[in-house]
């Protein structure tokens, strides 16, 4: 049922690994075929061209100590990725078995899309020719097997190899203090490789292949007609693209401000979170970051305190501005762009229970610049919920029933609850989502396969907002203190929301109120 989560909710999209592009990835090529490719003189020539081009950029070190390049099948590629991903997964999951399973699952999920990668456990570049063939078929573009793109990929990987000798990329990444730092450091790794590879390819006249490789990073295959499936893939693609695109922009900005010394500092004193990658000026001069009493982590801590019980798991993530565009695809482009531009940061928590497979409780906490922008965000989220009703009105998995209730709490929080019944070929399930705003903050609380009613989710959201906006008072109450009454509104009545999402609560009306693993 994991895939089903991603068809309904905004938040779980960022928790699940990218979904496979087909039910069963193509079988690995025969070892004989791989051995023949390994002796292919044209392939060997491309490898040597890329090696010499990067060596010319870095000096004699690579000539004296050449990096090994191995031609492998997909099974070997996935096996090495599983090993390299182990420390990162152990950082996120305390249980060793869970971490190992996550590493293997993630490697298998993306293994068919990795063209080549620098493997630090083997200190070698692994090239998987069958994946070039598979991607060409998937994207209906035979040019993806051309020499130009393979050469550009090899240049990128040779840069990783050189950087690993200089900065020990495995230690750099695996010593991250938390998942935020992990994503930020991965952006440094990929961003620097992209910057150097772009320059090397430009010097050699190979820019066309480099640009084709770069465009492929966030591409979604044609022929994905289901809008929910396409949106899921686009969100996942933007998660990968962050490290390459935003990482390169960070490295460019630091190089422009501080030259090579600044680039070296990115590896010795890297950004601490994705927001410092997205805002290089804040990384370069932390005093430029606006002072605020709002603390999103304090709010998420309160949510975890209320929701996550012993033995359950939590994962914290960021929602990137580029992912917002994919999530809200189909809604007015102007309003989506305003949401992207107004969103300062969004932090997510996904809580799961090993004893209840499929059950999930999640929260997204959005910070905007003004209260008006938060209200506009609420209106856009409201429109998205109604839009999903239309998108999923029919099909094997469809929304059979939806109910909306307006919420206005005594503390000033306002929003709505959405209760949906989803029918699947196997079962039916209840999905509950609560949206609330308070000042410049918007919170989305969701539950799938969970027993809590919408008023409980509203209390979790209210408590999260309160904690994020101001430090908790001494002697703060336990769960249930000040519990939100079922359907509570300002006059004590529940209001059925049958209004059109483009009415008074439309994004436009709200806007008027406003002033990972290198490869």
Burial class (CB in 10 A: 0-12, 13-18, 19+), 500: exposed
Both structure tokens of 258: 């501080």
Query: Which pLDDT value is given to residue 472?
Result: 53
Query: Which pLDDT value is given to residue 238?
Result: 80
| DSSP for residue 440 | T
Query: Which pLDDT value is given to residue 318?
Result: 87
- The domain ranges of the chain are 33-288, 296-469
Determine how many CB atoms are found less than 10 A away from the CB of residue 180. 20
- CA–CA gap between residue 235 and residue 7 (Å, rounded): 12
Q: Over the stretch 448-461, which tens digit does the pLDDT of each residue have?
A: 887 788 999 999 99
Percent of residues, the chain, with pLDDT higher than 90: 47
**List of residues 6+ apart from 203 with CB closer than 8 A:** 53, 57
* DSSP class per residue in 39-108: T-HHHHHHHHHHHHHHHHHH-SHHHHSPPEEEE--HHHHHHHHHHHHHHHHHHH-SSHHHHHHHHHHHHH
Q: Which residues of the chain have pLDDT under 50?
A: 1-36, 476-515
Q: Which CATH number fits domain 296-469: 3.40.1000.70, 3.40.50.12710, 3.30.70.260, 3.40.50.2300?
A: 3.40.1000.70
Distance, C-alpha 114 to centroid of its chain: 17
Q: Residue 446: which of 392, 367, 385, 506 has the closest Cα?
A: 385
Distance, C-alpha 338 to centroid of its chain: 20
Q: What is the pTM of this model?
A: 0.74
Query: Which pLDDT value is given to residue 234?
Result: 79
Query: Which pLDDT value is given to residue 299?
Result: 96
Give the chain's count of helices (H) and strands (E).
21, 11
Residue 5 backbone class (left: φ over 0; alpha: ψ -120 to 50; beta: rest) = alpha
Radius of gyration of the chain (CA): 24
- CA–CA gap between residue 28 and residue 48 (Å, rounded): 26
Query: Which pLDDT value is given to residue 346?
Result: 93
What residues pair up with 18 in beta bridges, in sequence order? none
Q: Residue 406: which of 420, 416, 414 has the closest Cα?
A: 416
Handedness of CA 71, 121, 267, 344 (dihedral sign): positive
């Amino acid at each position: 049922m994991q895939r089903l989560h991603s068809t309904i909710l905004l938040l779980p999209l960022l928790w699940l690994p990218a979904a496979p592009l087909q039910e069963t990835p193509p079988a690995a090529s025969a070892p004989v075929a791989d051995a023949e490719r390994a002796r292919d003189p044209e392939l060997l020539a491309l490898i040597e061209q890329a090696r010499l081009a990067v060596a010319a950029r870095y000096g004699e070190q690579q000539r004296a100590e050449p990096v090994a390049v191995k031609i492998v099948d997909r099974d070997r590629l996935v096996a090495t990725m599983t090993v390299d991903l182990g420390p990162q997964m152990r950082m996120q999951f305390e249980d060793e078995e869970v971490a190992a399973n996550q590493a293997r699952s993630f490697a298998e999920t993306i293994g068919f899309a990795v063209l080549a990668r620098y493997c630090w456990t083997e200190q070698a570049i692994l090239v998987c020719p069958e994946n070039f063939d598979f991607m060409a078929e998937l994207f209906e573009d035979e040019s993806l097997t051309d020499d130009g793109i393979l050469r550009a990929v090899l240049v990128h990987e040779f840069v990783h190899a050189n950087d690993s000798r200089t900065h020990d990329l495995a230690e750099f990444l695996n010593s991250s203090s938390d998942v935020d730092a992990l994503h930020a450091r991965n952006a440094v790794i990929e961003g620097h490789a992209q910057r150097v590879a772009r320059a090397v390819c430009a010097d050699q006249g190979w820019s066309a292949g480099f640009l084709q490789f770069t465009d492929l990073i966030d591409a979604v295959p044609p022929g994905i007609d289901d809008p929910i499936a396409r949106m899921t893939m686009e969100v996942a693609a933007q998660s990968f693209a962050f490290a390459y695109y935003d990482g390169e922009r960070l490295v460019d900005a630091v190089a422009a401000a501080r030259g090579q010394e600044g680039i070296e500092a990115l590896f010795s004193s890297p950004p601490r979170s994705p927001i410092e990658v997205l805002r290089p000026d804040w990384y370069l001069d932390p005093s430029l970051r606006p002072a605020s009493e709002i603390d999103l982590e304090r709010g998420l801590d309160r949510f975890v305190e209320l929701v996550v019980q012993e033995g359950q798991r939590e994962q914290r993530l960021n929602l990137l501005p580029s992912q917002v565009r994919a999530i809200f695809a189909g809604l007015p482009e102007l309003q989506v762009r305003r949401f992207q531009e107004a969103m300062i940061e969004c932090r997510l928590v996904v809580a799961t229970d090993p004893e209840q497979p499929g059950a999930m409780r999640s929260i997204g906490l959005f910070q905007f610049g003004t209260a008006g922008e938060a209200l506009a965000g609420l209106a856009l989220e409201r429109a998205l919920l109604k839009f999903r009703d239309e998108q999923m009105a029919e099909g094997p998995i469809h929304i059979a029933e939806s109910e909306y209730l307006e919420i206005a709490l005594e503390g000033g929080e306002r929003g709505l609850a959405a209760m949906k019944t989803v029918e699947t070929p196997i079962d039916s399930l209840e999905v509950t989502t609560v949206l609330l705003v308070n000042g410049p903050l918007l919170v989305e609380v969701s539950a799938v396969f969970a027993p809590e009613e919408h008023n409980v989710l509203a209390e979790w959201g209210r408590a999260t907002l309160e904690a994020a906006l101001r430090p908790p008072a001494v002697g703060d109450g336990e769960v249930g203190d000040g519990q939100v009454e079922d359907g509570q509104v300002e006059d004590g009545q529940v209001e059925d929301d049958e209004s059109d999402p483009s009415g008074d609560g439309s994004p436009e009306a709200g806007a008027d109120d406003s002033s990972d693993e290198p490869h």
